[in-house]
Amino acid sequence: MKALEGVKILDFTHVQSGPTCTQLLAWLGADVIKVERPGVGDATRQQLQDIEGVDSLYFTMLNHNKRSITLDSKNKEGKEVLERLVKTCDILVENFAPGALDRMGLTWARIQELNPRMIYASVKGFGPGPYEDCKVYENVAQCTGGSASTTGFDDGPPVVTGAQIGDSGTGLHLAFGIVAALYHREKSGRGQRVQAAMQDGVLNLCRVKLRDQQRLAHGPLTEYPQYPDEEFGEAVPRAGNASGGGQPGWILKCKGWETDPNAYTYFITQAAVWSKICEVIGKPEWITDPDYATPKARLPKLKSIFDTIEQWTMTKTKFEVMDTFNPLNVPCGPILSMKELAEEPSLRKTGTIVEVDHPERGTYLTVGMPVKLSDSPAEVKRSPLLGEHTDEILTSVLGYDAAEVERIRASGAIGAAPASKAAE
């Protein structure tokens, strides 16, 4: 049995942050009913399209295992259907611009009136404060949440990361809040409001940098590449590829780096096995030399130490480095390209990378459920076409009869009939 079987979600999400949240809940077994504007749908259906007229990979990869109903929430009959959805579902998830749901008439007070058991979950760019009314996308969140100022090299501008920590990261935070609220509701009988701000989500993931901000008051950050030659300013500087933890690390070139942009390895000078590292790279004298023997003695020389290790890694492929050092308990990892990840058999085997069939685009790859539950394995099903389940949801979930569905359709609230019906 799926962990969230029987849970119904009114999915009013779009773009990335909200859809990642409801996709995770769908993989856990919830019935996710995605409400989209008739004829338009989630804007990402049309964004970054690789095949003209076909739902983009942007959309398909964020909306698996959901059902789609088209509904104009500003139409009178549309509002009636929306209220019935609120009464029927357990959770409402949305990530519209601040105030949009209120403007549709769905304030928290109204939702509680309609369904006191409902959990109402939102992603917004910011929490209460000076920016609460702002619209926010991924990179804005990375910049305002502390990630960009601490990412990149010291002599360059702030850099955003490819990991979607603002969108997918906040979706994940929200999913965790929803599941906790659901557990609470089982005991209290009442729903509650769950809010996740993208700035907060990014800052949570940048926790170690706020740690370092406070450490600065007590002296230089000795594991940072600025130490010992450069001055530290008032704020945490960008640390290049330095490790965020207590074991120094860096990215080193491997064999083939001249032509392969990903022929690199991440290498950590794990203190407990320092002697083994020295032996492999041909520097056995560093094991006992007091200038190199302890982690503290090594800190001011990290750059030259990594340069020396790199002389060795440049003679090996990134996989040979891994094969040599992992058995010695030295944590290191090859820089894997998306191509390598897409082709990695072990990820296919675990369902982390999944091939999905889609009626309009054919097969494509996606990232499946990243968390594995032993009794509730996730099965990845294709994303819905726009409005694919409108009639099914109106009748089997909301209990409208055929005449009522026709009345709602005639009002324009759910858009045109599906092609097969229209032809009848």
Active site residue 167: yes
Q: Considering beta carbons, is residue 31 or 138 the nearer one to ligand CAO?
A: 138
By CB under 6 A, tell whether 135 contacts ligand CAO: yes
Q: Which of 4, 10, 11, 16 binds ligand CAO (CB under 6 A)?
A: 16
By CB under 6 A, tell whether 17 contacts ligand CAO: yes
**Which residues, in sequence order, are bridge partners of residue 264?**
253
By CB under 6 A, tell whether 165 contacts ligand CAO: no
Q: Which of 76, 87, 97, 105 binds ligand CAO (CB under 6 A)?
A: 97
Q: Considering beta carbons, is residue 203 or 314 the nearer one to ligand CAO?
A: 203
Using CA atoms, how far apart are residues 347 and 354, in angstroms rounded to an integer? 8
By CB under 6 A, tell whether 77 contacts ligand CAO: no
Using CA atoms, how far apart are residues 46 and 58, in angstroms rounded to an integer? 9
DSSP reduced 3-state for 124 = strand
Q: Considering beta carbons, is residue 241 or 411 the nearer one to ligand CAO?
A: 411
Using CA atoms of 175, 178, 184, 190 in order, give the dihedral in degrees to the nearest 10: -170
Stretch that binds ligand CAO, among 16-24, 293-301, 314-322, 416-424 (CB under 6 A): 16-24
232: Cβ–Cβ under 8 A, 6 or more apart, which residues?
216, 220, 221, 224, 226
Using CA atoms, how far apart are residues 330 and 270, in angstroms rounded to an integer? 6
Instruction: Provide the minimum distance between the beta carbon of 68 and ligand CAO in the complex, in angstroms, as a whole number.
Output: 11
Choice among 31, 55, 72, 167 that is catalytic: 167
Q: Which of 7, 86, 136, 309 binds ligand CAO (CB under 6 A)?
A: 136
Stretch that binds ligand CAO, among 60-68, 93-101, 154-162, 274-282 (CB under 6 A): 93-101
Q: Which of 35, 143, 175, 178 binds ligand CAO (CB under 6 A)?
A: 35
Using CA atoms of 189, 193, 199, 203 in order, give the dihedral in degrees to the nearest 10: -30
Residue with tokens 């209220």: 83
Instruction: Provide the minimum distance between the beta carbon of 43 and ligand CAO in the complex, in angstroms, as a whole number.
Output: 6
Using CA atoms, how far apart are residues 262 and 256, in angstroms rounded to an integer? 9
Stretch that binds ligand CAO, among 91-99, 338-346, 385-393, 412-420 (CB under 6 A): 91-99
Q: Which of 73, 151, 226, 269 binds ligand CAO (CB under 6 A)?
A: 73
301: Cβ–Cβ under 8 A, 6 or more apart, which residues?
291, 292
CA dist 156 to 83, 237, 240, Å?
52, 11, 10
Instruction: Provide the minimum distance between the beta carbon of 17 and ligand CAO in the complex, in angstroms, as a whole number.
Output: 4
Tokens of 366: 């996606």
DSSP reduced 3-state for 251 = strand
Q: Which of 45, 64, 66, 124 binds ligand CAO (CB under 6 A)?
A: 124
88: Cβ–Cβ under 8 A, 6 or more apart, which residues?
8, 397, 398
By CB under 6 A, tell whether 211 contacts ligand CAO: no
By CB under 6 A, tell whether 167 contacts ligand CAO: yes
Instruction: Provide the minimum distance between the beta carbon of 89 and ligand CAO in the complex, in angstroms, as a whole number.
Output: 15
By CB under 6 A, tell whether 175 contacts ligand CAO: no
CA dist 214 to 225, 242, 423, Å?
18, 18, 68
By CB under 6 A, tell whether 72 contacts ligand CAO: yes
Instruction: State phi, psi for 123 to the nearest 5 degrees.
Output: -110, 135
Using CA atoms, how far apart are residues 86 and 12, in angstroms rounded to an integer? 11
Using CA atoms, how far apart are residues 89 and 246, in angstroms rounded to an integer? 47
By CB under 6 A, tell whether 126 contacts ligand CAO: no
Q: Which residues are catalytic?
A: 167
Which residues here bind ligand CAO, judged by CB under 6 A? Answer: 15-18, 35-37, 43, 71-74, 95-97, 100, 103-104, 123-125, 135-138, 167
